[in-house]
Amino acid sequence: MTPKHIILTIAIGIVAAWVTGKLMRDRSLGLIGDIAVGIVGGIVGVWIFARVGVAAYGLVGAVLTSVVGRVLVLFAIRMVKRA
């Protein structure tokens, strides 16, 4: 992974964190936590989209995929915290 890809991944994670925060009205996990969950959400989103057979291209597709994955990751985090 080149430095350009790393910076782009972090930027997409930040945007996904912001969009998800507006959608779910969740509390922030801090800058590093939001970025980490955004990146993990992106990975989860890509995995789910691949299983369903849907491809998301471009920057908007990457953000959409990250948001879907981040919502699922935050849902899982909330379930674990309740248990």
Query: Which residue shows structure tokens 């997409």?
Result: 12
pLDDT digits (tens, 9 = 90+) for 18-31: 888 788 776 677 77
Q: What is the band of 14 on the pLDDT scale with cuts at 50, 70, 90? A: confident
Mean pLDDT of 68-76: 88
Q: What is the band of 2 on the pLDDT scale with cuts at 50, 70, 90? A: confident
CA–CA distance, 79 with 65 (Å, rounded to integer): 21
pTM of this structure? 0.78
Query: Which residue shows structure tokens 């998800």?
Result: 20
What angle do helix axes 3-24 and 31-52 make, rounded to 10 degrees?
90
Query: Which residue shows structure tokens 């990250």?
Result: 66
CA–CA distance, 52 with 78 (Å, rounded to integer): 25
pLDDT digits (tens, 9 = 90+) for 42-71: 888 888 888 988 877 888 888 888 888 888
Sorted by where each begins, the domain ranges of the chain are 3-82
